[in-house]
Structure 1
């Protein structure tokens, strides 16, 4: 039973009642609840070695404000103020919608009020503007939203005033779009923000008001700049990400939630998808190349699904898994009595794939004899069963895959040159996962949902440290290895808890190269891949020879200070009850009977 004096977060109430609270207001908002600014800040990763920055799973850019101002000026001068305003407003809307999806996925169990307010913190973290809430209240079930905020240090105003001076209209177009996109995505219906005071108009600070569309009345002017569609017509977010639909990330995904679904958003992935789309409408032979585990079979199945033969069979053959003595009978079939044990006739893979697609994986492992027989089938479009005399016509689209360099195999005399040219009609190279790291967070979320359903488990997601480790891991086994690591994490982590590094990695060697992250104190530091020894961390912060009771008291008091004096919140962070924390604090105020044991020499 909870004591009357003990405060409980809205998220805790929701967990206890089994429901998500769907209304909040500024009078009851608790700043210390997650996601805090520190939580959001620690989701920002820097990988300066290869020129990438991430905010959790979203790639970001660090750009000069003056460069953005120059682009803004070019847009206005070239397109006119109206069209430039529309472009920047819509760009802001997309950014806000992406951030809303990010917060929902990263902190699915957080209080809904803190999830809404995380947008104000992200806007500040991204260097756009400082947001000061004056008031807000909303009720998702009733469809009501009303909020008022101040915008300080607006980067848009700085650049607009520098270029055009003071005017008669508000100029924070991208910021208005961001607020509209963020809240609309979370709210589930259109919420419009309007800037009623702006520094570009001579005000000391910008003031903005947000309301659900019906409360404004006529919103034709707002929609003119947004060119907004009903949010339900946009692609839905992942089921675990939000209770409402959201503009989806630019990920291309195949139909169905099976293990062959392709997921990604990186430039390398999109390049392969564009090639796939182009060749799918033809009957051309396709050769997929790439390392083991990059998803060659998944791409082959996708090619079949979007091609002209989608309603016909897809037959896959792993050439490396079939003994040389059986490969001919597997591909072309067997007539009864062809050899001892052949008690009945059996169709081969070519016949079973007639009218559809035959996928030949690891084709580089075929012997020269088998290569010759395969070449004839491809050239003539006909086969003969083993032990048979009848020619069988087959209409098959052949898709092959290899993880070896077939041209090098040709030069070495291990692969027929004429077969290579017959297969290499339309080659598509699938890059290794280490060259498409932007796809790692997308794949992590995809396999988390897939493996959670398959094993009946319910982890809440990944810790920041786990995301950081996965972003920097080289993945020698590529996507297959990533899926195995996620499956291991789903099994190892507790239900209702986040998957951490120790749940996924066992003997895998994590890279020691620097992946930088923003620490809780706002300092840029290397992103560790595994936790440092606790003793080492203590000695760094408190010094050698510090008594254990003194360390404990310092830890307790820092936790209370971080919670703003709220003993219940501090106790939860330390894994204690409120009474246990109070007792330990009181015990620390009493002089010890004997000297505590020291750490270190």
Structure 2
């Protein structure tokens, strides 16, 4: 009969001992941290890991969840091996290596019993067998029901990562018995990958999926999680609006490069940007939103230095620059350089919304410098207007109608046949903004219990023919009527028109010359010179 274990022997075995590890554990109630020899650790209930595993299995399936958790354990094992070697540099390397079994026990995850452990670091020879008692991963399965496969995925990855770090070669453990299968304990056997053989399925799995994922991009399981998260966050209206570009957004999501989303206001550019952020595995539920006229040198410096020395990966930030064509002209070259530097050092992903159609010219309109255009436009998505979406406009309106009705606290009415035809026939130059306004006005004036008629739709279309001027409209088309009028009156002066524009900008900026220059797409020095040359208030 086996003698009962003496806790003191377990506490004082090897170097560092479990007792030494316990003495290095410090809880600071002031800042709420727990540290082991200075490194921060956290304490959580075992149920958290159980729920994480269950959710991953639901989202990814058991095979991909196993790969994910084994990689998580592998990275944890590597980190603990480095922790031991750094914090106990004078400990014999053999003791430092076997400290992995004590760290595993110390963590409360499992109690490790060595059957045999034969190794030679110089020759990279290794062979070992361990028993795992009271495995937290196996216990959950044993409590609910037995499984036909070993269940200690994270612990197995940990053992492989820890040993691989010490031997500087891939060491693979296999769980040959598991308590989740009904055995008294779990049993693992470890050997170098070369001993198992290059054709061994676990060797192939570790080399291709666990040990060496692609740097700078999402691993396949994480990519699937991100895609499903993005999909689940879409409303029915989002799906309809983004339908023409969904495939392109999915293709661009894993690429760690800036993306330019062009199109007229109201075409769904912001919806596309949010979807792209979620599908790329970005941090938080929403990207960080900055309007173009608020981009300054401080933001440029933040973009260039963020994540320095690292690589973009899951959880990275996305900065959404809305109305990028309004970025001050003197800031645009700095932003272009910051974006280039940020891509090198793992900075945030930049998604720029630009309110014009790229068919207007190869370099875009004058407010967007060529440097910034080239920095942003390598990956570009164009949102089509509602006028281009023949056969889709009525479906979008039918989806939008109950959303608006719910906001107004009323029951959504149905559209009769002629009303639907009127919606589909209209070109909606104001896109979703115009459609939202027209339908809201229809709902406000509509009588309960009746279908919306064509007359109601057409009446509101006449009231709101175009609710807002598209930011991307050609500026010449807006100035032409004014110039035509001045020419017709025979009292046109180009110099007077320029001075009026300069003075109007200064008045709008309340005397702030720098702000006025930004409105005109000039530098402060250029505006000051032109005001001075024209006899304007150069001293502003």
TM-score range, shorter chain: 0.3 to 0.5
TM superposition score normalised by structure 2: 0.39
Point out the structure with the larger helix share. 2
